[in-house]
Amino acid sequence: MRVGIMGYGNLGKGIECAIKQNKDMELVAVFSRREPSTVKILTEGVKVYSVDDAIKMKDEIDVLILCGGSATDLPTQTPEYAKYFTVIDSFDTHARIPEHFANVDATAKENGNVAIISCGWDPGMFSLNRLYASCILPSGADYTFWGKGVSQGHSDAIRRIDGVANAKQYTVPVDAALEKVRNGENPELTTREKHTRECYVVAKEGADKDRIAEEIKTMPNYFADYDTTVNFITEEELQRDHSGIPHGGFVIRSGKTGWNEENSHIIEYSLKLDSNPEFTASVIVAYARAAYRMKQEGMTGCKTVFDIAPAYLSPCSAEELRAHML
């Protein structure tokens, strides 16, 4: 299975690493908007091309993995490349998924290709677990907690404040809330009760730290609804202690069964990730295999994790899976 990567940021690099771990896959090209000669990749013998050369290579690539951003790249890229390739993306603007699905589905169907959208862990594995658990326990409640992990958007928001040189923000689930959910108490939780926000900020020389902390804590949408702590540290400390991109979280369904709903059950799915982009890439690569196989079977159109039978993700045959994994 010959794979192309469109966009070589953190996610693209994660895809490259994941391909190395899957023996049935081969990286054949990386496409970048940057001048190709300036982009250094890890895989020996594989070339970097300009995005403008991608379509010319459509017969040399079985699946093209789109690693752009959800705000401006993917809404145009995925429907466009689904005309020429079997594609997969990690579109994660939840509210715009129906629109994105419709656009991608149209061009994928018209051109006889398979396209998978919104693949990763949320949307992705967390969505899957919400779906399975809610179907199994229809009388119950769902809880999703994120973290402890780095939120790129919140870190960026802090960096835009006057006097801030650098910053990293962690979203942290509140243990007491998690415990209530795990105990089957089915609590109603406010935003503030579910997560706290921890900020590590490098201030520019002479900047007013009190004013910066106040601006962070009162920032609408991003921080005002949370208990937020602000820690000022040096750039060296930031690089030494906060250079990773960890993340994770919990999807918990608490539900009742029995003639009078007298029995309680807890289904919990959790992730603890050293590298958010590498894990996301690993999910995408498994689903890229599914896309390739579905295309080979003659399917077309846009799919999500909900539409894909789990066996498609595995390099093993159905017989092997039944014998060894069921």
Binding site for a copy of itself (CB under 8 A): 14, 16-18, 20-22, 42, 94, 97-98, 101, 118, 123, 125, 127-132, 134-139, 182, 257-259, 263-275, 278-279, 281-283, 286, 289, 304-311, 313-315, 318-319, 321-323, 325-326
Distance of closest approach, residue 137 Cβ to a copy of itself, in angstroms:
6
CB closer to a copy of itself, 74 vs 308:
308
CB closer to a copy of itself, 44 vs 236:
44
Distance CA 290, CA 274 (A): 25
Contact between residue 118 and residue 304 where contact means Cβ atoms under 8 Å apart: yes
In a 13 Å sphere around the CA of 280, the CA atoms on its Cβ side amount to 27
CB closer to a copy of itself, 83 vs 265:
265
CB closer to a copy of itself, 127 vs 166:
127
Distance of closest approach, residue 304 Cβ to a copy of itself, in angstroms:
6
Distance CA 11, CA 288 (A): 14
Distance CA 127, CA 51 (A): 31
Contact between residue 115 and residue 106 where contact means Cβ atoms under 8 Å apart: no
Task: Name residues whose C-beta falls within 8 Å of residue 11's C-beta, 6 or more positions apart in sequence.
Answer: 67, 90, 277, 280, 281
Distance of closest approach, residue 234 Cβ to a copy of itself, in angstroms:
25
Residue spans of beta strands (DSSP E) within the chain = 2-6, 26-32, 47-50, 63-66, 86-88, 114-116, 140-146, 149-150, 164-173, 195-203, 227-232, 247-257, 263-273, 301-303
Distance of closest approach, residue 75 Cβ to a copy of itself, in angstroms:
16
Distance of closest approach, residue 148 Cβ to a copy of itself, in angstroms:
13
Question: Tokens in use for 155?
Answer: 């870190």
Distance of closest approach, residue 242 Cβ to a copy of itself, in angstroms:
16
Distance of closest approach, residue 91 Cβ to a copy of itself, in angstroms:
10
CB closer to a copy of itself, 176 vs 309:
309
Distance CA 141, CA 146 (A): 17
Distance of closest approach, residue 59 Cβ to a copy of itself, in angstroms:
27
Q: In 10 A of CB 38, how many CB atoms?
A: 8
Phi-psi category of residue 306: left, alpha or beta, with phi > 0 → left and psi -120 to 50 → alpha: alpha
Contact between residue 125 and residue 290 where contact means Cβ atoms under 8 Å apart: no
CB closer to a copy of itself, 71 vs 131:
131
CB closer to a copy of itself, 16 vs 215:
16
Distance of closest approach, residue 218 Cβ to a copy of itself, in angstroms:
32
Q: In 10 A of CB 93, how many CB atoms?
A: 15
CB closer to a copy of itself, 42 vs 55:
42
Beta-bridged to residue 230, according to DSSP, are 199
CB closer to a copy of itself, 31 vs 287:
287
Of 102, 116, 64, nearest to 85 by C-alpha is 64
